[in-house]
Amino acid sequence: MGMDGIVSSSNGPGLSPGRIATAFSRALDLARAYEGATAPNPPVGCVVLDAAGNEVGAGAHRRAGLPHAEAEVITAAQLAGVAGWIDTVVVTLEPCNHHGRTPPCVDAILATGARQVWIGCRDPNPRVGGGGAERLRAAGRKVDFLSGLAHPAAAMLHADAARLLAPFSRLVSTGLPFITIKQAISAAGSMVPPAGQKTFTSQSALELAHRLRRRADAILTGSGTVLADDPQFTVRLVPDHPGKQRQLVILDRRDRVPAAYLDAATQRGFLVHCSRDVAEALAGLGAAGAMEVLVEAGPTLTGSMLAAGLWDEHVLIEQGASPDGTDRVTVRRNPAHPFQ
């Protein structure tokens, strides 16, 4: 390996694995800032480097209808007059090779002199999978995948990239949203707060709940929770994505939820629906392009969805269960629904 992280290689261009790993880490951070803002598109981050490994530009896909990450970064570099420096493109998702609402990102990359493209995950969309990498290769660019990066952090970075993509992946491959169940359990082992209280968890656990809401496109709850707590379900403890509108679906087979609650939720900005069937509710959310649904319900609905395997990620908050007496947070993934 030479100076400045450049690998001397007889088979073409190449920065050191360490430089590529750092670039992926940064691209993932950039993308994560928009988790929950991009549906029905995935959050994607991109970093472009010069031949010495210096960053020429970096950015992320911010919202459907706005440019994809690669196009955003390359256009900014062109406007700044530095696009000619681009040698390596590092992107968390395979560049698209089709015309959607925006032109193909492969064209944007091919308009630069980039010699190498590093890709975090294959595009899971069965309608477009594979095309981007193959077209870049056919045009003479070297294309590599994060899964093949020879660096100790590569497996973790790849797992992070796959997790970031999981809600999109789930939606395009099944038509259903990624389901996150948030469940808080008191020291006494109950999900139900003491009389007169809406919660029993710490401030940091409440903030976690608001971060989970922030990345969700929809909230799913049961009539029991609405009647007991009159919950707002808005993102308040962390900054929300500007202009974000979420769906709120209430399971209410007996029509117990008053119209005044539905009106107030609409006023708070939700698209509100009542439903009598969980599967139907999930299918409707998927058809509307919701990539992630957060279940914030009481023991009845939470228990039935967990028992039916209707979940992808289960975020369990146990009051005071950490060794230091703070709330313990455990995130489980459904082994029946592996990521990419």
Ligand X SMILES: NC(=O)c1ccc[n+]([C@@H]2O[C@H](COP(=O)([O-])OP(=O)(O)OC[C@H]3O[C@@H](n4cnc5c(N)ncnc54)[C@H](OP(=O)(O)O)[C@@H]3O)[C@@H](O)[C@H]2O)c1
Residues lying near ligand X in the complex (CB under 6 A) are found at 183-184, 191-193, 221-225, 228-229, 251-254, 256, 278, 296-301, 304
Closer to ligand X by Cβ: residue 154 or 295: 295
Give the residue closest to ligand X by C-beta.
224
Q: CB of 195: closest distance to ligand X in angstroms?
A: 9
Nearer Cβ to ligand X, position 147 or 304? 304
In the bound complex, what is the minimum distance in angstroms from residue 186's beta carbon to ligand X?
7
Question: In sequence order, what DSSP letters do the residues of 25-89 get, joined into one string?
Answer: HHHHHHHHTTTTTSTTSPP-EEEEE-TTS-EEEEEE--STTSPPHHHHHHHHHHHTT-GGG--EE
Least Å from the CB of residue 251 to ligand X: 4
Nearer to ligand X among residue 101 and residue 253 (C-beta): 253
DSSP track, 225-254 = HHHHH-------SSPPPTT---EEEEE-TT
Structure tokens at 15: 């920065």
Q: Count other C-beta atoms under 10 Å from residue 303's C-beta.
A: 13
- For ligand X, the closer of residues 112 and 201 by Cβ is 201
Q: Respond yes or no: is residue 70 known to be catalytic.
A: yes
By three-state DSSP, how is residue 275 classified?
Answer: strand
Q: Which is nearer to ligand X, 40 or 193 (CB)?
A: 193
Cβ at position 71, least distance to ligand X in Å: 41
Neighbour-count burial for 207-224, b at 16+ CB within 10 Å, e otherwise: ebbeebbbbbbbbbbbbb
Provide CB contacts within 8 A for 305, sequence distance 6+: 179, 181, 278, 295, 297, 311
Alpha-carbon distances, residue 79 vs 52, 91, 109, 142, 268 (angstroms)? 21, 20, 15, 25, 39
Task: Give the contacts of 17 (CB within 8 A, at least 6 positions apart).
Answer: 7, 149, 150, 151, 154
Q: Going by C-beta distance under 8 Å and a sequence separation of 6 or more, which residues neighbour residue 315?
A: 180, 181, 182, 183, 208, 212, 329, 330, 331
Cα separation values, 70 from 23, 44, 66, 77, 309, Å: 14, 9, 12, 11, 37
Is 30 or 278 the residue whose CB approaches ligand X more closely?
278
Q: How far is the CB of 259 from ligand X (least distance, A)?
A: 15
What would the two tokens of residue 237 be?
Answer: 């403890």
Shortest Å distance, C-beta 340 to ligand X: 29
CB of 103 to ligand X, least distance (A): 44
> Please, which residue, 125 or 183, has the CB nearer to ligand X?
183
Instruction: Please pick, among 35, 55, 70, 313, the residue that the annotation labels catalytic.
Output: 70
Indicate which residues carry an active-site annotation.
70
